[in-house]
Amino acid sequence: MADKMATRQAYGQVLAELGSKYESLVVMDADLSKSTMTADFKAVFPERFFNMGIAEQNLYGAAAGLALSGKIVCASTFAMFASGRAFEIIRNSIGYTKANVKICATHAGITVGEDGASHQTFEDLALMRTIPGMTVINPSDGVSAKQLIRQAVAFNGPAYVRLGRAAVPVFYDEQADIKIGKANCVRQGKDVTVIATGIMVSEAMIAAEKLAEDNIDVRVIDMHTIKPIDINIIVKAATETKGIVTAEEHSVIGGLGAAVAEVVTTHLPCKIAMVGQQDTFGESGKPEELKVKYGMTAKEIILAVKQISANS
Amino acid sequence: MDYREFEQTAANIRVGIVKAIHAAGSGHPGGSLSAADIVTALYFREMKIDPKNPKMEGRDKFILSKGHAGPVQYAALAERGYFPKIDILQLRKLGNQFQGHPNMDKIPGVEMSTGSLGHGISVAGGMAMANKMDAKNGRIYVLLGDGELQEGLVWEAVMSAAHYKLDNLVAIVDWNGLQIDGKNDDVMKVSPVGEKFTAFGWNVLNIDGHSFEEIFKAFEDAKDCKEKPTAIVAKTFKGRGVSFMEDNPNWHGKAPNDDELAQAIRELGGEW
């Protein structure tokens, strides 16, 4: 794990690349282009960039209008305001119409850090995955973010892409096979499975290395696509290992943990423990401090794995 | 000029509205009838459209931002030949294309699925931006309710349309003065309407929304205005054409019974 890169940086870089490939690509923002990194696209294709001002509802309404006129639209703001404030616009004018809008939402989760609770969303995956036909993607590093965004832009229909503010380790190599809807098993193991998403994948890898010292062999899955979720890989984990720990930088209510539990209870019940934000708001602080205080680190994953391992 | 032909068409559309809502047993006659003349003017003269080719390249587009008035759009599209008139009597029935609020995937000629207020003008703005980008001549017409102006999203969209100089966008406000709970200005004051649009940088035209002469002239004036979107504030009467519905908020969302339907059809004098 050498380099670090925020997934939003990967987004900015891939947008500038995709602008040349797709003449119909339009990028929109709500006065946060230097933070969401859409400014990278604006610098190269100013005539295809629209700043809609601090008006997230209209950002997504207008995005729908452009998409229904044949444009591919990437529309960005902070995840809190995209998924929360504009939820009903996204539901009715993008979801219901199947508009080709990619909601690329940055600054998700606790790693927003110093801005505090008003800006830290732990609800966005839950909200977005309830919309029929919405693809929901949460990349774990810069390389996979680029690949997944390229694929999201290539298909016709709505998608939500969750991106982070903080730099996170890059652990995929450029040739890695990453596909929307197909989770990646990033570490083989036979005792317990950790299904992680977003920045929690690298925490899960740290946890797995530590647990190996205690002779617990942990499988780690990068569930970068929350919807449609990879049912097969979950059922396989439920069959082959003693239980599943889910890990997400999101509320344990309604997000990855819930999505995995829905699959498991339907197909093959097994023990599940959920690591994530425990039904509480965040606060200001450094991202690393907040991860520790709110229990979203390798430590909590290790505890949960040991619990499942001991009880079975 | 003689507008009798359009008046007759509007009467036919109004009959379609009351028949469909009667058949459904629920719906919104008041705001459908108030908008009938404006919608007739758009579909029967103003807009470049082709019922045989609803997705015609470069066409004008109409968005019913006040989606609860779906019956006026359905009756107008039927009258214009997009589908048989009898079809709209399936309004609001299970498995049918004529949903309580318009769905673009189910009905030819419907450009946007609406119903949640404020969305239509926001989406229309995006469509106008797309036409500007592609140098397409098609104009975007969006019909708003007056009560709808209470939605914050409307004003976000109004601000951005002026900012992006969308002179290919025309917003028509069906100003019938009433909403579900009573008069607009008792529920939540929306007036003055025109002044608000002016303050946001729009070209504003105040007209009688039941006068074809004034409606057509406003559309022409809108085309002459460059670099600004146009708002046509059309004074109308809710339930227009049916004596017992006219200017009565109780007919915002209620279906006529058999006797009321018969009386409405007699008064409207439409052919259907």
Residue A99 and residue A213 share a domain: no
pLDDT tens digit sequence for A43-94? 999 999 999 999 999 999 999 999 999 999 999 999 999 999 999 999 999 9
Average pLDDT, chain B: 97
Residue A120 and residue A9 share a domain: yes
Task: Indicate yes or no: CB of B122 within 8 angstroms of CB of A58.
Answer: yes
* Helices and strands (H and E) in chain B: how many: 10, 7
Q: Which of A62, A93, A97 sits opposite B129 (nearest CB)?
A: A62
A30 to chain B, closest Cα gap in Å? 11
Look at residue A311 in the predicted model and tell me its pLDDT: 80
Q: Report the alpha-carbon distance of residue B235 to residue B37 in Å, rounded.
A: 11
Look at residue A154 in the predicted model and tell me its pLDDT: 98
Residue A194 and residue A76 share a domain: no
Residue A176 lies in a domain: no
B130 to chain A, closest Cα gap in Å? 5
Tell me the CATH number at A241: 3.40.50.920
CATH superfamily of B4-268: Thiamin diphosphate (ThDP)-binding fold, Pyr/PP domains (3.40.50.970)
Task: Indicate yes or no: CB of B119 within 8 angstroms of CB of A69.
Answer: no
pLDDT above 80 for B1: no
Residue A193 and residue A86 share a domain: no
Q: Which of B162, B91, B80, B150 is nearest to B125 (CA)?
A: B162
Task: Tell me which residue range forms the domain holding A31.
Answer: 4-169
CB pairs under 8 A between A and B: 97
Residue A149 and residue A210 share a domain: no
Residue A37 and residue A165 share a domain: yes
Q: Which of B113, B126, B156 sits opposite A66 (nearest CB)?
A: B126
pLDDT tens digit sequence for B196-231? 999 999 999 999 999 999 999 999 999 999 999 999
pLDDT tens digit sequence for A189-201? 999 999 999 999 9
Residue A193 and residue A162 share a domain: no
pLDDT tens digit sequence for A16-45? 999 999 999 999 999 999 999 999 999 999
DSSP B11-28: HHHHHHHHHHHHHHT---
Find residues 27-86 of chain B whose CB sits inside 8 Å of chain A. none
Residue A174 lies in a domain: no
Under the banding of pLDDT at 50, 70 and 90, the label for residue A2 is low
Tell me the CATH number at A131: 3.40.50.970
Note whether A119 and A106 are within 8 A (CB): no
Q: Report the alpha-carbon distance of residue A41 to residue A21 in Å, rounded.
A: 13
Number of domains comprising chain A: 2
pLDDT above 50 for A134: yes
Q: Where are the domains of chain B?
A: 4-268
pLDDT above 80 for B20: yes
Residue A177 lies in a domain: no
Q: Which of A61, A88, A98 sits opposite B126 (nearest CB)?
A: A61
What's the ipTM? 0.96
Domain boundary among A169, A193, A215: A169
Predicted TM-score (pTM) of this structure: 0.96
Residue with tokens 């809008």, as numbered in its chain: A101
Q: Give Cα B103 distance to the centre of its chain.
A: 15
Q: Report the alpha-carbon distance of residue B215 to residue A167 in Å, rounded.
A: 57
pLDDT tens digit sequence for A251-308? 999 999 999 999 999 999 999 999 999 999 999 999 999 999 999 999 999 999 999 9
Residue A76 lies in a domain: yes
pLDDT above 80 for B57: yes
Residue A161 and residue A17 share a domain: yes
Distance between first and last Cα of chain B: 26
Task: Indicate yes or no: CB of B129 within 8 angstroms of CB of A92.
Answer: no
Residue A133 lies in a domain: yes
Residue A198 and residue A147 share a domain: no
Would an 8 Å CB–CB cutoff place A64 in contact with chain B? yes
Q: Choosing among A93, A94, A98, A101, which should be mutated to test the B contact, i.e. which has the most B CBs within 10 A?
A: A93
DSSP A167-216: -EE--S-TT---BTTB-EEEE--SSEEEEE-TTHHHHHHHHHHHHHHTT-
Residue A37 and residue A157 share a domain: yes
* Alpha-carbon distances of B22 from A46, B90, B95, B243, rounded to whole Å: 52, 11, 18, 16
Would an 8 Å CB–CB cutoff place A132 in contact with chain B? no
Look at residue B270 in the predicted model and tell me its pLDDT: 86
Under the banding of pLDDT at 50, 70 and 90, the label for residue A1 is very low
Residue A88 and residue A39 share a domain: yes
Residue A178 lies in a domain: no
Would an 8 Å CB–CB cutoff place A62 in contact with chain B? yes
Q: Choosing among A48, A58, A93, which should be mutated to test the B contact, i.e. which has the most B CBs within 10 A?
A: A58
Q: Give Cα A126 distance to the centre of its chain.
A: 11
Active site residues of A: 56
